[in-house]
Structure 1
């Protein structure tokens, strides 16, 4: 990985492709994994979109995202069936041809003998012209990278293996740090005071997340910053606010 300065954040988007996600038949397990992975290596995930298996919609979404963010990661739609059209859509988005790639065929041949490398499986070897392959240690069918777009499988275990291959090649920024404090108060009790703390620390991200515990409604407050000193100062302000509000409400 190569690091950039804090003033030039590295950004990313995820494009999830597949009717099965939109219909609810398949529950996505990739977004959270990728988001946490990118955060841990200093890449800011800024947007996630989910699109159906319609080529024009994939092309439109992909072109919009790749123009706005440093990287775009797609998941889904690179299998052996007729509705796996991601590779064709990516080729269309970049205006390049697509065909069976000898490198991809060689990868598939490591798993499938010649008599099993049928037309359906060979669909997974169709790669846009000019793309680099992403190795797949799980099932051998590769993903690929073209421009700032990384095309990966939708099956979580395969996607994760591909992401491990991709990560060392990415430009990264300063890692986002975070700290959490449990308020012991309802979100509505601290909303106004928390807003004042956030206003006083504009370079730090402060979020509140209500939940229910055995004791009743409660709130976690999460403070995020790339600067450890600013994080510590903001956390101290949040804790002081919590102590003050607890004392006020206890009267």
Structure 2
């Protein structure tokens, strides 16, 4: 399945601390799950450092290729928080101090609104603000680029103000066929035959190992419920015809799509 046939997005994770291993990223999984509920495929993810040229190059490439780009990190008060500057350059929109953000900052630090903190009030001209339910500075949206915080709790809160802005497609449904006690070498041929017959679907094999044994979870994903059900049955028949009989089919799993406003 080609993700770009539907509505597709990319995630750009920005921060030297992620690349160095000092901080473990957990935002990608949260964003991928969130996008799926809105019928948006996460087609690409990149992790880059706090380098202006690299951020700008990545933004230009991703925003032209995908319907949406979501960035995390780099909108704080320190010298290396340069995401807003980079987005402004790519969007050809000058930065300005947004009065609503400035009011939030003044209320939060009435006697300590330092120049560094004041930097967080800057957004590109023409931006829409993305609410921060934790009370801190908001993120922003300009063109098709969502600029979100890097702190996981804050980022997840901001997502609540992102969903209604997305024009998603049909939600991807998934089914899992579990095969116990059989290695991928025996599964590969029947799985490939079924996959070739259903190019609109995504079929993948994910091995597992435990004290109780080993095997593979064969995951089928697609947007057409009838084709998905038919393909699950076809895969089971094909595996059985190959002598593989220890098969368990998971119940249908459909991720509901939130309503866009």
TM-score by length of 1: 0.92
What are the Cα deviations for residues 161-215 of structure 1, in whole angstroms up to 9, with x where unaligned? 1111111111011000001121112111211111011112222111111110223
SS of corresponding position for 2:111: helix
Partner of 1:202: 199
* Distance in 1 of aligned mates of 2:164 and 2:245: 51
Q: Does 1:137 align with 2:133?
A: yes
SS of corresponding position for 1:14: strand
| Structure with the higher fraction of residues in helix conformation | 1
CA contact (8 A) 2:190 2:235 kept: no
SS of corresponding position for 1:116: coil
Q: Cα distance, 1:216 vs. partner?
A: 2.8
Q: Does 1:44 align with 2:44?
A: no
Q: Cα distance, 1:159 vs. partner?
A: 0.6
Of residues 182-191 and 54-63 in structure 1, the stretch that sits farther from structure 2 once superposed is 182-191
Which structure 2 residue ranges, 5 or more long, are not aligned?
A: 247-261
* Distance in 2 of aligned mates of 1:69 and 1:172: 12
1:127 to 112, 123, 126: 123
Give the CA RMSD over aligned residues. 1.7
Partner of 2:172: 176
* Distance in 1 of aligned mates of 2:142 and 2:171: 26
Partner of 1:3: none
Of residues 41-50 and 131-140 in structure 1, the stretch that sits farther from structure 2 once superposed is 131-140
Partner of 1:108: 105
* Distance in 1 of aligned mates of 2:245 and 2:202: 25
2:79 to 69, 78, 82: 82
TM-score by length of 2: 0.88
Q: Cα distance, 1:107 vs. partner?
A: 2.3
Q: Deviating runs (4+, > 6 A) in structure 1?
A: none
Count matched residues: 242
